Amino acid sequence: MGFTIVQKIIKNHLVSGQMTAGEEIGLRIDQTLTQDATGTMAYLQFEAMGTKRVKTELSVAYIDHNTLQAGFENADDHRYIQTVTKKHGIRFSRPGNGICHQVHLERFGVPGKTLIGSDSHTPTAGGIGMLGIGAGGLDVAVAMGGGAYYINMPKVIYVNLKGKLGAFVGAKDIILKVLEILGVKGGVGYVLEYGGEALKYLTVPQRATITNMGAELGATSSVFPSDELTRAFLHAQGREGDYVPLTADADAVYDKVIEIDLDTLVPLAACPHSPDNIKTVRELQGMKINQVCIGSCTNSSMLDMLTVAAMLKGKTVHPDVSLSISPGSKQVYSMLAECGALYDIINSGARVLECACGPCIGMGFSPNSGGVSLRTFNRNFLARSGTKDAEVYLVSPETAVASAIAGVFTDPTTLKNPPKVEVPSVFSINDNLIEMPADEAEADGIEVLRGPNIKPIPKGAVPDVNLDTKLILKVGDNITTDHIMPAGTKVLPYRSNVPKLSEFCFTVCDPDFPNRAKELGGGIILGGNNYGQGSSREHAALVPLYLGVKAVIAKSFARIHMANLINFGIAPMTLENEEDYDKLELLDDVYIENFRELIRTSDRLVLVNKRDNSRIPLKLSLSARQKEILLAGGTLNYTKNNGNV
Ligand code: MIC
Ligand code: SF4
């Protein structure tokens, strides 16, 4: 039996476990990336482990999220990351150089290698046949120290792309179609592998749009083969030497196959407040809109920006619409300036923002009250834009521009003269904003500069002998990490300050939660299906830990968040019978006898609800390694106990 692409990469990097779907495996990690909103924590944890120099082939720290600098906090964090990376052998991508995933694809990604990043959209690298996986900062810190990264061996979905995209239909519409088919938890436990006759027309930037937004399926990763188009892209980036061909074997076996016919695909939109709430743009045609934002790691490549510029050329943005455009990288931005496309963008009345995440993570450009905002981004979770009652729709750049000009939702296929745009055969290469780390000999002399906003990381504790506590929050299905630990201008600057962050924890769902948790001295949380979907931010585990949360019970968990909970010693348990969800109410007193011992010896626990003495069976299905981590009170303690520091 042959291998799929992902199985080939895993086979080459396997350090522990069997390649049996669902089994825990350890992977050797070739490259890591961090961004600044998760980076400070990752590097603080790396420092705590005491490793002097990174052991990966390449590690890069990007500054792209926290770039507003409305106070000293972000600037201090940037300075910390700049100095800590210089000391420990990590490259530093300065603010202004672009969004981590876009820059990594352009300058560093290598087909067939492994990459983990403290950002859930790390699978973007799958656009060039690299296995990119999003992880918590602590896992990235461990990998930088040479440790393995653990996942459950994924199953593989084959996405067969037939036909050819029509005019004004984009790669974004392909991934929106996949989201319509699979839903936001349809990818959990899977990697998606793309293939089929349409591949010969899909360039690397288009592929990267698709692999990027595979994160919204809950998938472990998404990959395309590495083929002649990959070679052409790497050649255009002056990196043809990094090219290796990589395809699945002809007799590879997939766990699931889906097929999309690009000939019949039409422009799609993800409606509020979930990336899988899909309608055709035609159904929404004519709806008045207030704002359009183009950019983010999903749609900010040179190809996207040239398309946008060509559609805006000679036009004016509708007077009732505010249009923002953030190019994905300095490379893209400078090339737009060089070829004059930037002129067309500026002249249309678009508001050009720096090449960073910006509005995607609520850093500016929040919509007006009740506003309708069309975004080429990947997430439209409630309140993520910074305006809780805004209606955010996720669309392709083509739909975004057509609508920005018309002032109403507009299906771009109704327009004439589709722009003829191609990926450049040569990119402008200037890595002057990538700082190289100091030589090993000089490293000792480098002082790591820390600002007052960097507070100690809360420490996990050994689990209680018996868990005797209260249910301090009950939430529904598909709770995102944006619900648990919101971001945006008011909160993001405190990513290094957990006590301050705790004031915002879960406030999107329940404004009283932080005070209640503090007054009651912590407790447990009950969630529905897919608890913790979305970002990789470990703050969504660290802050509840700080507030005394000892366990989370849910119907099911999202992969990265579950790993983060374990990393910080919070037990992620699932309900054996989903109906029991209704038996628990806010503030119920709950009890698990022999909690600590059962974590060690069993994967079944029973929670007693003291209100009515009902007994609720729970599962804690973890590997032996994960159980040890929980029993140690988290990964940092576990690593120390095992002498790996
Ligand atoms: C996001 O898109 O939600 C983020 C911000 O990039 C996060 C990381 C973070 O919260 O810092 C992600 O996707 O992991
Ligand atoms: Fe940045 Fe948005 Fe991409 Fe997250 S999804 S890395 S916030 S651009």
Q: Give tens-digit pLDDT for 547-591.
A: 999 999 999 999 999 999 999 999 999 999 999 999 999 999 999
CA distance 548 to 626: 20
Q: Give tens-digit pLDDT for 60-114.
A: 999 999 999 999 999 999 999 999 999 999 999 999 999 999 999 999 999 999 9
- Looking only at the bridges linking them, the beta strands covering 372-375 and 351-352 are unpaired
Instruction: Say if residues 466 and 585 touch (Cβ distance below 8 Å).
Output: no
The whole-number pLDDT of residue 288 equals 98
DSSP classification of residue 246? B
CA distance 629 to 562: 13
- For ligand 2, whether the C-beta of 209 sits within 6 Å is no
Region 156-169 average pLDDT: 98
**467-642 to CATH, choices 3.40.50.2300, 3.20.19.10, 3.30.420.40, 3.40.50.300:** 3.20.19.10
For residue 180, give both structure tokens: 């319509």
Task: Using the atom order of ligand 1, give the atom closest to the CA of residue 539.
Answer: 10
For residue 135, give both structure tokens: 């992880």
- For ligand 2, whether the C-beta of 299 sits within 6 Å is no
CA distance 394 to 407: 16
The angle at the Cα of 255, spanning 576 to 13, to the nearest 5 degrees, equals 95
Residue nearest to atom 5 of ligand 1 (CA): 361
Instruction: Say if residues 126 and 224 touch (Cβ distance below 8 Å).
Output: yes
Tell me whether the omega of the peptide bond preceding residue 318 falls within 30 degrees of 0, making it cis: no
Per the DSSP assignment, residues forming a β-bridge with 374 are 292, 393
Q: Report residue 194: phi and psi, to 5°.
A: -100, 145
Rounded alpha-carbon distances, angstroms, from residue 83 to 76, 88, 92, 444: 11, 9, 9, 12
CA distance 535 to 540: 9
- For ligand 2, whether the C-beta of 173 sits within 6 Å is no
**Residue of 121, 298, 379, 385 to test ligand 2 pocket, by largest number of atoms within 8 Å of CB:** 121
Neighbour tally for 259: CB within 10 Å? 11
CA distance 365 to 385: 8
- In 3D space, the residue among 382, 530, 419, 472 whose CA is nearest the CA of residue 169 turns out to be 419
CA distance 239 to 258: 33
CA distance 69 to 85: 20
Residue nearest to atom 3 of ligand 1 (CA): 535
Tell me whether the omega of the peptide bond preceding residue 273 falls within 30 degrees of 0, making it cis: yes
Listed by start position, the domains of the chain span: 5-264, 268-413, 467-642
CA distance 478 to 381: 10
Rounded alpha-carbon distances, angstroms, from residue 209 to 151, 193, 393: 24, 14, 17
CA distance 84 to 356: 22
- For ligand 2, whether the C-beta of 138 sits within 6 Å is no
User: Sorting pLDDT into bands at 50, 70 and 90, what band is 639?
Assistant: confident
CA of 38 to the centre of ligand 1 (A): 8
Q: Give tens-digit pLDDT for 588-637.
A: 999 999 999 999 999 999 999 999 999 999 999 999 999 999 999 999 99
Across the chain, mean pLDDT equals 97
The whole-number pLDDT of residue 645 equals 42
- In 3D space, the residue among 110, 335, 130, 329 whose CA is nearest the CA of residue 240 turns out to be 110
Residue nearest to atom 10 of ligand 1 (CA): 537
- For ligand 2, whether the C-beta of 274 sits within 6 Å is no
DSSP string for 544-565: HHHTTEEEEEES-B-HHHHHHH
CA distance 575 to 579: 8
Q: Give tens-digit pLDDT for 362-393.
A: 999 999 999 999 999 999 999 999 999 999 99
Q: Give tens-digit pLDDT for 434-474.
A: 999 999 999 999 999 999 999 999 999 999 999 999 999 99
For residue 575, give both structure tokens: 């309900």
Three-class SS of residue 436? coil
Is the pLDDT reported for residue 16 higher than 90?
Answer: yes
The overall pTM is greater than 0.85: yes
- For ligand 2, whether the C-beta of 121 sits within 6 Å is yes
Fold (topology level) of 268-413: Aconitase; domain 3 (3.30.499)
CA of 538 to the centre of ligand 2 (A): 15
- For ligand 2, whether the C-beta of 99 sits within 6 Å is yes
- In 3D space, the residue among 499, 502, 507 whose CA is nearest the CA of residue 482 turns out to be 507
- In 3D space, the residue among 357, 567, 364, 386 whose CA is nearest the CA of residue 482 turns out to be 386
Q: Report residue 96: phi and psi, to 5°.
A: 105, -15
The angle at the Cα of 64, spanning 533 to 212, to the nearest 5 degrees, equals 45
The whole-number pLDDT of residue 642 equals 79
CA of 602 to the centre of ligand 1 (A): 34
Q: Report residue 4: phi and psi, to 5°.
A: -80, 175
User: Sorting pLDDT into bands at 50, 70 and 90, what band is 298?
Assistant: very high
Site of tokens 């809950």? 218
- For ligand 2, whether the C-beta of 357 sits within 6 Å is yes
- In 3D space, the residue among 178, 257, 192 whose CA is nearest the CA of residue 220 turns out to be 192
CA of 375 to the centre of ligand 2 (A): 12
Any residues with Cβ below 6 Å from ligand 1, and which? Answer: 37-38, 65, 119-121, 134, 361, 487, 534-537
Q: What is the 3-state secondary structure (H, E, C) of 55-108?
A: CCCEEEEECCCCCCCCCHHHHHHHHHHHHHHHHHCCEEECCCCECHHHHHHHHC
Instruction: Say if residues 377 and 364 touch (Cβ distance below 8 Å).
Output: no
Region 267-293 average pLDDT: 98
Is the dihedral angle over the CA atoms 544, 550, 555, 561 positive or is it negative? Answer: positive
Can you give the length of the chain in residues? 645
The whole-number pLDDT of residue 437 equals 98
Residue nearest to atom 11 of ligand 1 (CA): 37
Instruction: Say if residues 296 and 196 touch (Cβ distance below 8 Å).
Output: no
CA distance 181 to 388: 28
**Residue of 119, 220, 380 to test ligand 1 pocket, by largest number of atoms within 8 Å of CB:** 119
CA of 119 to the centre of ligand 1 (A): 5
Instruction: Say if residues 303 and 421 touch (Cβ distance below 8 Å).
Output: yes
User: Sorting pLDDT into bands at 50, 70 and 90, what band is 643?
Assistant: low
User: Sorting pLDDT into bands at 50, 70 and 90, what band is 644?
Assistant: low
- In 3D space, the residue among 581, 613, 606 whose CA is nearest the CA of residue 467 turns out to be 606
Share of the chain above pLDDT 90, in %: 99
Q: Give tens-digit pLDDT for 102-158.
A: 999 999 999 999 999 999 999 999 999 999 999 999 999 999 999 999 999 999 999
Fold (topology level) of 5-264: Aconitase; domain 3 (3.30.499)
Three-class SS of residue 316? coil
- The reply to whether domains 5-264 and 268-413 share a CATH topology is yes
